[in-house]
Structures are given as C-alpha cells and as structure tokens.
C-alpha cells in the first residue's frame, strides 16, 4: 500500500487515483502546448518562405535590394548556398554553383541582379519539418525571368532551405536551388 511519507499514513485509493488523474491532465496539457507551439513555428516558417523569401527574390522594376536578406539568412561563415543557375550567369570565370559564407553571398547577388531585367516567382507546395532548433522547408518555385533586353523565360525551381532557430529568430543556414524540370 502507498504511504503518505510526511503524515506517515496510508494513502487512500482516491488520493492515488486523484494524483494519477492530475498527472494525466498535466501531461495532456503539456503535450497540447507542445503541439500548438510546433504549429505556430510551422506557420512562422511558412510565412517566412511565402512572403519574405519570395519578396526578397522578386525584382519587378527598379533596383534590386539585398537588404531584406539580412533578416532571413544567418550572418555567418556557416551559411552555404547552392544554386545551379550561378554557372549560367557567370559573374566570374568558372563561377561556382556554391557560395560559402554570408558575406560572399550578400556581395554576389547585387552583381547578379545588375544583369537581370526582372524576376517574379510564385511559391507552391511548401513543406515544413521542425526538429528542435532546426527546420527544413522545401517548396516549388514557378517564375518568369526577364533578361535586360526584355525577353521572358519561364522557370521552375526546387528549393530546400535549412533553418536554425537563433536568438533573433529563424535564419537560413543552407539554401539549395535546383532545376525543377
């Protein structure tokens, strides 16, 4: 029989049952709160992809601005980005499709967009998976690339972003973009 050690008396079955019910309720509440927090995190990441990421990589007219990237990407040498289009753009001879470090990433894109008349894309099929302080988002991008001479080319890309939760919020630490044909 269970004992109430402080009172040195046997516990009644109702006390044991009540304690068990309270523990079950607390476990249920905690589990529910974790599920709700996970749903909120997923909604945050989905918004970051569908609004902020999309807006960053849209250039309708005027000058492209890389400034919004500061709120999306990790400002560190840890950032790695891979984009198969970089080989075709050729900012430098033998341009790699891989960029290491945010400083390099940030300095490259304004030079690329000087060679681009415009770019718009629609983001579809966003999937979010969270594991602690890490998250992965995958999605499809359907867009239109406009060259400086006005020629428009439809594009389809596959995106994978790896995010890390930092004190300032979710930040991209790895970006992989490939042809979606």
Question: What is the DSSP track for 155-169?
Answer: EEEEEEEEEEEETTE
pLDDT digits (tens, 9 = 90+) for 35-51: 456 789 999 999 999 99
pLDDT digits (tens, 9 = 90+) for 70-113: 999 999 999 999 887 766 566 666 667 888 999 988 888 888 77
How far is residue 157's CA from residue 65's CA, in Å, rounded to a whole number?
Answer: 21
Give the predicted TM-score (pTM) of the model. Answer: 0.76
The pLDDT value recorded for residue 65 is: 79
- Asked whether residue 34 carries a pLDDT value surpassing 60, the answer given is no
The pLDDT value recorded for residue 7 is: 59
Q: Which of 10-14, 41-45, 82-86, 146-150 has the lowest mean pLDDT?
A: 10-14
Grade residue 33 by pLDDT with cuts at 50, 70 and 90. Answer: very low
Domain ranges of the chain: 32-179
Percentage of the chain lying above the pLDDT 70 cut: 72
- Asked whether residue 29 carries a pLDDT value surpassing 90, the answer given is no
Specify the higher pLDDT residue, 157 or 38: 157
Grade residue 60 by pLDDT with cuts at 50, 70 and 90. Answer: confident
- The token duo for 6 is 């402080």
Mean pLDDT of 138-165: 92
Architecture of domain 32-179: Roll (3.10)
């Amino acid at each position: 029989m269970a004992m109430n050690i402080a009172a040195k008396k046997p516990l009644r079955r109702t006390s044991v049952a009540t304690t068990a019910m309270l523990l079950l309720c607390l476990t249920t509440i905690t589990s529910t709160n974790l599920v709700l927090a996970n749903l909120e995190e997923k909604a945050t990441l989905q918004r970051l992809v569908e609004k902020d990421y999309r807006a960053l990589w849209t250039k309708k007219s005027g000058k492209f601005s890389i400034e919004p990237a500061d709120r999306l990407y990790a400002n560190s040498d840890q950032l790695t980005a891979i984009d198969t289009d970089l080989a075709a753009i050729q900012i430098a001879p033998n341009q790699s499709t891989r960029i290491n470090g945010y400083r390099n990433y940030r300095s490259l894109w304004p030079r690329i967009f000087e060679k681009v008349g415009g770019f718009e894309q629609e983001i579809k099929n966003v999937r979010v998976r969270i594991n602690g302080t890490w998250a992965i988002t995958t999605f499809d991008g359907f867009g239109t690339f406009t060259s400086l001479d006005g020629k428009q080319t439809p594009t389809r890309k596959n995106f994978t972003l790896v995010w890390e939760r930092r004190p300032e919020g979710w930040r991209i630490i790895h970006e992989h973009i490939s042809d979606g044909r």
